[in-house]
Amino acid sequence: MSFSIRYQKRALAEYENAVQWYREHSERAANNFETAVNEKIDILRSEPDRYKKAYKQFHTVALRKYPYSIVYAINEQDYSVIISSIFHHKRNPRGKYKS
């Protein structure tokens, strides 16, 4: 069964800021970043348990060529994955697992 993907406002803002930053520096890098995020999201749709829990109910998956991780939780009741953060690795990790 395919899981639906839901985004918290914070995750959407982080994603949009990252895409904008890359776009200001390189259109190609921005497109590749979007592709990298979308590839991981596609995996989460079909295999949300593929990546280990990092903290409490939160799972993380790092992007390969970009210094970002997708932080998410799984809601088994309604078959959804809730993306809580698109987290840059140089940010303060204290805010990484806020829902």
Contact, 10 vs 82, CB < 8 A?
A: no
Q: What token pair was written down for 73?
A: 């939780």
pLDDT at 86: 95
Each residue's pLDDT expressed in tens, for the chain with a length of 99 residues: 799 999 999 999 999 999 999 999 999 999 999 999 999 999 999 999 889 888 888 999 999 999 999 999 999 899 999 999 999 988 766 667 676
pLDDT at 25: 95
Q: What is the pTM of this model?
A: 0.89
pLDDT at 52: 86
Fold of 4-95: YaeB-like fold (3.30.2310)
**Block residue for tokens 């970043």:** 33
- Sequence ranges of the domains in the chain: 4-95
* Among 61, 72, 57, 87, residue whose Cα is nearest residue 6: 72
